[in-house]
Structure 1
Amino acid sequence: MKRAAPMDVLLAGNLGTDERAAWSAALSAALPEARWWWDDAPFPAAMIEAAVVANPAPGRLQGLPRLRLIQSLWAGVDRLLGDPTLPEDVPVARMVDPAMNEAMAETALWATLSLHRGFFAYARQQAGGLWQQHPQRRADEVRATVLGTGQMGQATLRRLQQQGYRAAGWRRADGPQALAPLLARSDVVINLLPLTPQTAGMLGAPLFAALPRGAGIVNLARGGHLVEADLLAALDSGHIGHAVLDVFAAEPLPPVHPFWSHPRITVLPHVAAQTDPRSAARVAAANLRALRDGLPLQHLVDRTRGY
């Protein structure tokens, strides 16, 4: 039987030297039968059948007449879909990596546990040389609401429930009538929603006001979900007790941003769940083989929904 010609795959995105080396090695190992091309060097545009991307520059995927799949290396695709030059007739697949899901669940558990046990408050006390003990609640006395019940949301719910927390999930399809009673009794809200026009600014004054006084906010999704001024006001009034923020409207977070120095905000530099080339390359390779073999593609994005 005649062997099929190797697939030509374009790698496109804004990656540092070390990241590029790691992805090149991982992808080549996961799909050695492919020919891999980087977008900043000469490549055979007329031969490219698939693109593996990490937020490529606008217009970078134009002029590829044989392109049949755009495989993202990131779980979030809002920036990718925001490119008006993105070919409309080419399927887009997002990254769904079990290792990344578990990493996100670990971060959410750490944030919930730290809020529950007052560890952020104790850190503030240490900075001031204050020795003061606070009442200690059990995990089953703490209610957590996870916004977004996709792959990462489900992994987070499982992890929290395994540790004894009273955790519940909400998705946009459930409607605001289902969210209101959850918020009214939530000690912690963890945001893992996709960023869409419908969810942008969702972490704002109305949501904060619906929470019990002293509740914690954990935003691990996108900076566009958060209304920054509303959070600062809610923190300064004491209605929100503490916020853990991993994502921001502008990244890196500007040095003069008030979040850096606010005593009730913990800033993470977008590290809640980094894509691991070792596992994600296998996920991307599986979809590329499915494309080659005419099999169903996994984790396709519905462009009308934005995820």
Structure 2
Amino acid sequence: MEIRQLEYLVAVAAAGSFTKAAASLDVAQSAVSHQVAKLEDELGVRLLDRQRPLIRPTDAGVLFVGRVTRVLAELSAAREEVLSLRGQTVGEVTFGATFPAASLDIPEILARFRSHRPAVRVSLREGTRVELLEMVKNDVADMAVVASELSDLPPGLEGVVVDRDDLVVAGRAGHRLEHHERIEIGELDAEPMVGFRRGAGLRAAVDAVLARLDVSPKVMTESNELPMLLGLVRHGHGLAVLPRAFLVEAPSEVWMRPLNPPITPAVVLTWRRGRRYPPAAEEFLRFLVAEAMR
């Protein structure tokens, strides 16, 4: 059993494809397939179900991949800790961010960190609030920025508020509400809408306020892609509730108006309580917390 075999297996399980795993590892697909098959032969059990378009671990594979993921993380952490004794901060940090958290200008934050620690590689994971919180709980991501209140974080996670989104209504030119100075939330009742998909933090925040006020819009289409949402609004598929910062990229045919009452959900940096992070991840976490306190 070789370390590279374990790394290949974990990569395939995460990607759901030998082709994608090979691309992420920068090795030939045949090498990945051969080494994973060799590992399965050594163990005498199938670890991956190859009968479906999307490759998934078998029951044995789920158990094995879970343990192997933790072993590989420990090996990486050990290497980083030894090198840190020589004054070198190296390694990889896996950082999750929901699409709505893009208002924080994450690329700029990463550039500042990289100028400080150029030998640290930051791997970005995107997903909904639910998906990213699960990644942090299971150590698939070291930390994540999600749209959530601190009180709504799952047990075992802690965090700090780094921002608050200012949500506005976006609509197509000519819509009946275009000339209102602000949009009363009650006016969205039965209104055709487009919005973030379920599981997204901002979707949950908006749905909670609407439910509390007994407002039931008709969400016709869901997407977590900003260009898609703006395109849907532009072509009259419905109104959208979006962070004000995103409307900088809106086409001229799309207007925005503030909500009454306002909806300002928190954006939280979260990590697993009590986890011993390797030096690179620990330094990156300290950097992000310091950025939030600026």
Q: TM-score under structure 2 normalisation? A: 0.27
Structure with higher RCO (Cα < 8 A, 6+ apart): 2
Which protein is richer in helix relative to its size?
Answer: 2
- In the superposition, the TM-score normalised over structure 1's length comes to 0.26
